[in-house]
Amino acid sequence: MSDQAAEARDVTVLLEELEPQLELLWIDVSYDIARDSSLFEKLNRKTLFDEHFHEFMSFHGVHSHRIWQGPNELDSEALAILEATVRDDHTPLPSVLYLAGDDSSDLSDHQLAVDRQRLRDVCKQRNMEVVYESAPDWTLDFGRPKEFIRRRRAEQLKKARG
């Protein structure tokens, strides 16, 4: 058995044991959790699947997907690739797509603002929300997805209140 297969098995066993206690999780999309397993179904809504843009190929049938490009926001070329993928992909798309970048309306790069809006429009047509937040900081806070965490906690609070 390869080291990668052993690691995937170990992570899966750990996730199976911890799943009832987990409120949220963020992991690299490459972790091999069988997409047709009951574990995946239990984890999917409370997990943010992370992926670096240079590894991006598809959305993997996950509920929440974060794509980032180093310490920076995604550039126009990356946004165009994502737009084409959303438009042409026939697999289940995420409900929420988290992208690195400042969501202010006063972007200094006009073309980047246009490209972002075009991606938002295509995503909206496919019932997918786009959320911009600061790029993950893997050295300071282990890439903590602030907006995803905020939304999960709000969802849990709403559920607790009935």
Query: What would the pLDDT profile of 47-91 be if each residue is shown by its tens digit?
Result: 999 999 999 988 888 999 999 887 778 889 999 999 999 999 888
**Residue 8 pLDDT exceeds 70:** no
**Residue 2 pLDDT exceeds 70:** no
Cα–Cα distance between 22 and 86 in angstroms, integer? 30
28: Cβ–Cβ under 8 A, 6 or more apart, which residues?
Answer: 49, 50, 51
Q: Which residue from 102, 113, 99, 105 is spatially nearest to 148, judged by alpha carbons?
A: 99
Cα–Cα distance between 44 and 35 in angstroms, integer? 9
* AA letter at 94: P
Q: According to the model, what pLDDT value does residue 139 have? A: 84
Domain boundaries, the chain: 3-161
- Exposed / middle / buried, residue 139 (Cβ in 10 Å: 0-12, 13-18, 19+): exposed
Cα distances from 144 to residues 55, 75, 136, 137, in angstroms, run 20, 22, 7, 7
Tokens of 87: 């438009």
DSSP one-letter string for 40-93:
HHHHHTTEEEEEEGGG----TT-SEEEEEBTTB---HHHHHHHHHHHHH--SPP
Q: Which residue from 64, 50, 27, 24 is spatially nearest to 149, judged by alpha carbons?
A: 24
CB 39 within 8 A of CB 33: yes
pTM of the full structure: 0.85
**Residue 123 pLDDT exceeds 90:** yes
